[in-house]
Structure 1
Amino acid sequence: MSASRPAKPKPAVQPTADRKSSEALAQAEPPVRYLNRELEWLEFNARVLEQAQDPQIQLLERAKFLAITGSNLDEFVMVRVGSLKLQSQGSGGRRDPAGLTAAEQLQAVARRCHRHVQSQYRILQDEIQPLLDQRHITRVDLNQCSDRTLAAAERHFRGDVVAVLSPQALHDRRFPMLPGLGIHLCVQLRGVAELSPQNGSQVIDKPSSRKSKGDSANAGPDEHEPQFAVIPLGRTLPRIVPLPSEKSAAGAAMPGGGEHSFHYVLLEDVVAHFVSDFFPGREVVQCKPFRITRNADVELREDGAGDLLGGMEEVLESRRLSDVVRLEMDASSSDAIRNYLTESFYVDPDFVFNNDGPLDLTYLFGLHSLEGFSSLRDDPWPPQRSPKIDPTETMFTSIAAGDIMLMHPYETFDPVVRLIEEAATDPDVLAVKQILYRTSRNSPIVAALIRAAERGKYVTAIVELKARFDEARNIEWAREMEQAGVQVIYGIRGLKTHAKVCIIVRREPQGLVRYVHFGTGNYNESTASLYGDISILTKDESLGTDATMFFNAVTGASQPQPFQQLSIAPLTLRRTILEMIRGETERSKQGQKAEIIVKLNALVDTEVIDTLYEASQAGVSIQLNVRGVCCLRPGIPGLSDSIEVISIVDRFLEHARLMYFRHGGDNKIFISSADWMPRNLDRRVELLVPVNEPTIRKTLRETLQLYFRDNQNAWRMQPDGSYERIRATKKQKPLRSQEVLYKQAVKAMQDLKQSSHVTFETHRPSK
């Protein structure tokens, strides 16, 4: 390795996959051993979409899940569709493990995306929006609202919008460089050859729009070629514009008025309604929103990048200028606008979407956070303090008493932040070494590293500049830390550094001691309240030695020496996983009980899948909890009979990678930063960490088993790649795994409080 430096009720069982295509794969000869990665990811997003449709979930939570599916699909199109586009241009007929060429995958993905988007807007228009209206969260139609509401919208337009936005006339389809994923308005104008200077403007596709004083009949001959303009809305102005509640004719508040009502309009609707003000003397035929998605699969050619920092800035610029891979338009757009945009952006017709509703559903995140509607959201689950951490003691004292496991977000991430903050000011701390892949905007961890360096401590940070979509933030942090005296390493040439580890070297009476944090999630206190992850805090000597050797090998561009306990990708992690699976296979063949339980975000690697198939054929009991993409096909006779695959989609994003192997009764348990994908095993720097403390091992094994008893938010994968929702039978009690884990964290703290010693102080007679 070399371092580079500076509600409609649904049935109890709901299939989500494209059964026709998956059944065809299942019946193909020879049998297809693997499912397509892209289609399986879309099935994961369909499971998230099911949450938006579930009447048992609070209304604003359903709206949030719908927003998540929109955000997820945006990233999928940017990265995966963008990648397939490039593959289809350069790979010829090369097929993926499921037997599909890039062109065939694009066609299948386009069909599935269109169905997915149709489902999104059906759920929005038929279920969520009517229910929001009933609860007085109303999107106002400016064409049908009261004069009072229209006047408020006009005041906002003239006071806050006109001065910010700028229209731009378009000539010969030469668009300005529009950013991807932003909302833009395409304005169709009547020809201007015969327009007189005194003629006003009008929007002729909106019957209630304001008319100008001029005579529209004098706007020019209809046979003139239409002209177009674009108004980029940018990201400066808020998209959700609050409006006063509607009033009845008698002046009384209509349903929805009062303390707990929220009437709003989207920014694009305000601009479209008053758009004629931008074009005095012109006739506006139509004004419709559109949105483009650019290819984000732009990677750095590191062999030609002498300066990685400068190279990454070029990547960001290239992404801004990259080809358009998706075009979204309002379904009521005219043929002229539709044809003009499609031809101007050279977009594949298969990836042109005519959406029957607001573009970019992430505006629903804003509704989810509205004040005054707490009854429409989940009850809060505040993260609990770990009973093993005494807030009156230092983190070093708590860790010295024994290994600590934190289960986020049920237990707070604060101890991890606190450990690094204490290290920054502790006079006995000599060095801090940490890998940063993704951080928060105002990261207290980065701030602590800067303070530590300013106090003269030896601070080294590996900042992964190639963390997709966080490149700009990481570049900014890297420069700030360098200025403060932190030794910054910009990742590894040719690899992404994805491991989660922090090492603190402290001088103590017995000598130097290494305090280490290993995690499955990023050093981001914001996402730690939303993602399910595991943290291990330890001063285990061999793990500390391994962690230091690993870190120094990365920063020193040297060949890592054999580790006592850790396995790292791309060198030994794959081998360790395969050896552990094969060990269970051999024990099963010898008549011993053999068992594997694994929790991952994705299972794609064909070598690992084949090894799991071999284990199944030997009779090993295999339970896989895979949140997202799973290319393995469970339950195939003679191939994967003993493999069960579930997926949990619930309140928190399941993110932890956790593995259990029975190992002849020795119970080997690992946490990891790596999913079982070729990129993680072969093209990233990752860690596989054994869990040594017996109590923690027991807790993690029970947690793995708990997920397979979930009958509220679990989905079972079928052999054809579809999923069926697991529902409690009449004889079963409802069990929601995330709720159980939270209640366990609450009970642990309650038990601690009850067991605290009480000191009795007697009253003594006065002298």
Structure 2
Amino acid sequence: MDDDMISLDAGVVTDFDDDYDELAVTTSGPPLPEGRYLDRELSWLAFNNRVLELAEDPTLPVLERANFLAIFASNLDEFFMVRVAGLKRRILTDLAVPTNVGRRPTDVLDDISIRAHELQARHADTWQNAVSPALAEAGIRIVRYSELDEADRANLREIFSQQIFPVLMPLAVDPAHPFPYISGLSLNLSVRVRNPKNGKEEFARLKVPQVLNRFIRVDQRETVTDLRFIPLEDLIANHLGDLFPGMEVVEHHVFRVTRNEDVEVDEDETENLLQALEKELLRRRFGPPIRLEITDDMDPVTLELLVRELDITEQEVYRLPAPLDLGGLFDLTRIPRPDLKYPKHVPTTAVALLPPEPNAKPDIFKAISRGDILLHHPYESFATSVQAFLEQAAADPHVLAIKQTLYRTSGDSPIVEALIDAAEAGKQVLALVEIKARFDEQANISWARKLEKAGVHVVYGLVGLKTHCKLALVIRQEKGRLKSYSHIGTGNYNPKTSRIYEDLGLLTADDQVGKDLTRLFNELSGYAIEKKFKRLLVAPLHLRKGLLKRIAVEEENARKGLPSGIQIKLNSIVDEAIIDGLYRASQAGVPIQLWVRGICALKPGQEGLSETITVRSILGRYLEHSRIFSFVNNGDPQVYIGSADMMHRNLDRRVEALVRLVDPDHLAEIDKLFALAMSDEVTSWALDQTGQWTRRVVDAEGDHLIDLQDQLMQQISRRKRPGTTR
């Protein structure tokens, strides 16, 4: 998922692109030691382990714990579909697969398998022995068919016959019916039946329909505080006689297949990227299997058949207790039980966007003209800031043009509708739609065609590069001259995820930012090649070099005894050049704080290498998603926010943009944010040099530490209009 960890609606997503390109790293000074990087794949699994720890935490509301179990499952599915699939594909095709720790890819796969088996077993155990019993105590019970009485079974039989049976499609396997295609991530029933007339046994596969609810209510008359659900596959399994009349059901078991769902399009060899990508998306469905999950009661005969027909190894088989696919727990989190969830939080409108008078109509352009506005979502509303900015631009007769990047957006996006309204009103509208955004390709293709029909100029970026930057530029005519209004963000233009993703954004009327964005959009839509930007750092040409220069300045200042320091917040850090730059800065004595949500290949606290580096991770109700790069710079702070993580893909194969913050209040706000996040009084995970993450939730006296996200909610909600009493 973006840039990020999860399935989009899960709350906790991760973007998995292949980062196995060779990287020429230039360094200065004495050579750094071998073995200075942590394995990126195992680091990602450690991240998902942190998600699992949240599900295991008995102090969290129980439906939130169920949600974290679902997030863990969704994350792991994507990890297998992309990262594990990428490793296997390169091994099978004899491509070189460099790893950031110099190990053979086959050894990496072995380690992944060992760790993934451990995590999936613990994940299932957390559901069986912790979360499911806690839900039952709260009045939400997941039951088995065998536990029900005759009245319940009669009720479910009616539901089955009317709502489920007509949708089912049993597929026999015999000489006239070859082994059927098993779609990725689908739940399936393997069924062995016997003909009572001749005693011959046959095999059939039955797909559990994904269009139906995963959990079926046993009795619709039950109140919301006393609910019983049965897994759909359990209900189907107990009505197999209806699907195979006249046959004896000998065995039935549940299984699930994960396939390679990576997409590769050679942009240099295609004349129409849209059509080529659509063809590739059709092929994705038929990628080779890379994981087989089975219930722990599956008999050897059935397992042997599946392993043979799916052509997988024993290492790729995961034997787990039912129910499989705990990603289905997302369904349960929709139960209207606010007492079992995090307290509701309503985002506030950013103070700088409030009109001077309480009942006055907001004017986004006037507010931005007063000075740069730093937004912090979801604590501050996306709808009353970024969305309102674009909607006002679409309706404003003085706006002449709108230019915007779209990487991921929601299915009913008001952002896209605003662009369509602007085009229909006669404005010049450019939408740079990234149709290669993983697992959102088809949705983005649909949006691109809808925008084109409305008269929007739609482009797909530069050949060979994903456009991942989050940019919007509005050109407005004011007093006989053109004025630029810009937005640069760390997150997607997606109203839905803006409520669960933590992100930063800058609204500015600064002429220099407007000129930078104008040149960048010209480069993305035309043939311009820009060498320099004033307030932006842009990948792939300048971002790595710009950050390495800033790191080197801190190193030099530390050697001279001048004030120095580096604070970085991001999703993942893998890039060797950046890591080595940080190591050298640490050797010079630069204090370095890294706030990393996901993968961290850097080893902190290692004597002679990284003694001054501290790494923390924070996970919670919101997905920490913003990227911040802050440098002390001898007392003249240089602070950037933007879309880029420190990974090869972001620095070499994507168009990314960071913008420098200049308002002293914004610099102070970033400083306070880091001070809070890195404080020993805040709940977080700390990374040691071996790659182990340790969670701290209580202090030495046993008192619970502060939840950073709760603290920010309270602080930001208390902000008042300028000039009013706090």
Task: State the TM-score bracket (shorter-chain normalisation).
Answer: over 0.9
Residue 113 of structure 2: aligned partner: 110
Q: Do residues 557 (structure 1) and 527 (structure 2) align? A: yes
Match of 2:708 among 732, 737, 740: 737
Larger relative contact order (Cα-Cα within 8 Å, sequence gap ≥ 6): 1
Match of 1:180 among 179, 184, 197: 184
Mind listing any 5+ residue stretches in structure 2 that lack a counterpart?
Answer: 1-31, 356-360
Residue 300 of structure 1: aligned partner: 265
CA contact (8 A) 2:573 2:645 kept: yes
Distance 2:272 2:509 in 1: 37
CA contact (8 A) 2:676 2:682 kept: no
CA contact (8 A) 2:214 2:331 kept: no
- The verdict on how the C-alpha distance between 1:245 and 1:710 changes in structure 2, with shifts beyond 3 A counting, is farther
What whole-Å deviation, never above 9, does each CA across 1:391-422 have from its counterpart, x for those lacking one? 61221111111111110111110110111111
Distance 2:282 2:174 in 1: 25
Question: TM-score of the superposition, structure 2-length normalised?
Answer: 0.92
What amino acid is the match of 1:463?
A: V
- Per-residue deviation, 1:574: 0.6
Distance 1:493 1:259 in 2: 53
What amino acid is the match of 2:623?
A: L
Distance 2:334 2:500 in 1: 15
Distance 2:417 2:450 in 1: 9
- Per-residue deviation, 1:51: 0.4
CA contact (8 A) 1:709 1:737 kept: no
- Per-residue deviation, 1:298: 2.4
Bigger Cα displacement from structure 2, 294-303 vs 422-431 = 294-303
Bigger Cα displacement from structure 2, 332-341 vs 716-725 = 332-341
Residue 218 of structure 2: aligned partner: 243
- Per-residue deviation, 1:151: 0.8
Residue 325 of structure 2: aligned partner: 360
What amino acid is the match of 1:104?
A: D
Residue 320 of structure 1: aligned partner: 285
Residue 165 of structure 1: aligned partner: 168
- Per-residue deviation, 1:95: 4.0
What amino acid is the match of 2:276?
A: G
SS in 2 for 1:559: coil
**RMSD over aligned Cα, in angstroms?**
1.8
Residue 707 of structure 1: aligned partner: 677
What amino acid is the match of 2:246?
A: G
Larger radius of gyration: 1
What amino acid is the match of 2:715?
A: Q
Q: How does 1:139-288 map to 2 (within 5 A)?
A: 139-171=142-174, 174-190=178-194, 192=195, 195-196=196-197, 220-221=198-199, 224=200, 226-244=201-219, 258=223, 260-288=225-253
Mind listing any 5+ residue stretches in structure 1 that lack a counterpart?
Answer: 1-28, 197-219, 247-256, 757-767
Distance 1:649 1:576 in 2: 29
Distance 1:438 1:719 in 2: 35
Identity, in percent, stands at: 40
Residue 11 of structure 2: aligned partner: none
- The verdict on how the C-alpha distance between 1:125 and 1:300 changes in structure 2, with shifts beyond 3 A counting, is same
Distance 1:421 1:350 in 2: 53
- The verdict on how the C-alpha distance between 1:86 and 1:620 changes in structure 2, with shifts beyond 3 A counting, is same
Q: Do residues 421 (structure 1) and 391 (structure 2) align? A: yes
What amino acid is the match of 1:552?
A: N
Match of 1:412 among 365, 373, 381: 381
- Per-residue deviation, 1:601: 0.2
Give the total of aligned pairs.
687
What whole-Å deviation, never above 9, does each CA across 1:243-296 have from its counterpart, x for those lacking one? 1289xxxxxxxxxx6551111111111111001111111111122221111102
Distance 1:438 1:517 in 2: 16
What amino acid is the match of 2:532?
A: P
CA contact (8 A) 1:275 1:287 kept: no
SS in 1 for 2:167: coil
Match of 1:496 among 455, 466, 469: 466
What whole-Å deviation, never above 9, does each CA across 1:557-615 have from its counterpart, x for those lacking one? 32114212211100001111000000000000111121001001000001111111100
Match of 1:473 among 415, 440, 443: 443
CA contact (8 A) 2:215 2:231 kept: yes
Bigger Cα displacement from structure 2, 114-123 vs 280-289 = 280-289
Distance 2:682 2:132 in 1: 25
- Per-residue deviation, 1:532: 0.7
- Per-residue deviation, 1:174: 3.1
SS in 2 for 1:594: coil
SS in 2 for 1:755: coil
- The verdict on how the C-alpha distance between 1:333 and 1:313 changes in structure 2, with shifts beyond 3 A counting, is same
Distance 2:50 2:608 in 1: 29
Distance 2:180 2:429 in 1: 45
Residue 718 of structure 2: aligned partner: 747
Q: Do residues 682 (structure 1) and 647 (structure 2) align? A: no
Q: Do residues 398 (structure 1) and 367 (structure 2) align? A: yes
What amino acid is the match of 2:340?
A: L
Question: TM-score of the superposition, structure 1-length normalised?
Answer: 0.87
Q: How does 1:522-671 map to 2 (within 5 A)?
A: 522-671=492-641
What amino acid is the match of 2:130?
A: E
Distance 2:641 2:514 in 1: 16
- The verdict on how the C-alpha distance between 1:483 and 1:33 changes in structure 2, with shifts beyond 3 A counting, is same
CA contact (8 A) 1:44 1:629 kept: yes
- The verdict on how the C-alpha distance between 1:595 and 1:238 changes in structure 2, with shifts beyond 3 A counting, is same
Match of 1:340 among 301, 305, 327: 305
